Amino acid sequence: MTNQSTPLIKQLVALIRLKSFENSLEFVDKLAENVITDLDLIVVKKISHVFSPTGITLGYILSQSHLVIHTYPEEGVIHVDLAICSDRSDKEFEKSLKYALSGHEVFSIEVETIEFEG
C-alpha cells in the first residue's frame, strides 16, 4: 500500500440490469460467493438483511476492504460495491459478475471506478 504506483483504495461499483431474479438471500449469497472466488477475495466477516417487501443487502468485510451487494428485484437491478486495497481491473470485475450471473438474462452491466492514490 506504500508503493506510489498502487492505488491506496480502489473502488469498483457496478449497476447490473437483468430480466428477473429471485428475491432470496440464497441467490445473493451465490452471486457473492462466485465473485469472491473469482477475484480471490478473503472474507473476514459477513452481514445480511432481507428487506420487506423485497430487496436484500449482503455485505462482507474483506481482508482487502469490503464487498456490498444490494438487490432491487422490483426494478430488476443489482448494485455491487467492491472496495479493495489490491489492484483489480474493471474488466476483471465485470467478467466476474458476468460469470456469477451466467444463466440469467443480463441487459447491462455499468461499471464505475474510484481510485485514491497512496
Is there a catalytic annotation at residue 104?
A: no
Helix (H/G/I), strand (E/B), else coil: 96: helix
As measured in angstroms, the least distance from the Cβ of 28 to a second copy is: 13
- Out of 59, 90, 94, 95, name the contact with a second copy by CB under 8 A: 59
116 counts as binding a second copy under rule CB under 8 A: yes
# chain residues binding a second copy, by CB under 8 A: 31
Residue carrying C-alpha cell 455499468: 110
CB-based contact 1:90 (threshold 8 Å): no
Give the residue among 83, 117, 104 at the shortest CA–CA distance from 19: 104
76 counts as binding a second copy under rule CB under 8 A: no
77 counts as binding a second copy under rule CB under 8 A: yes
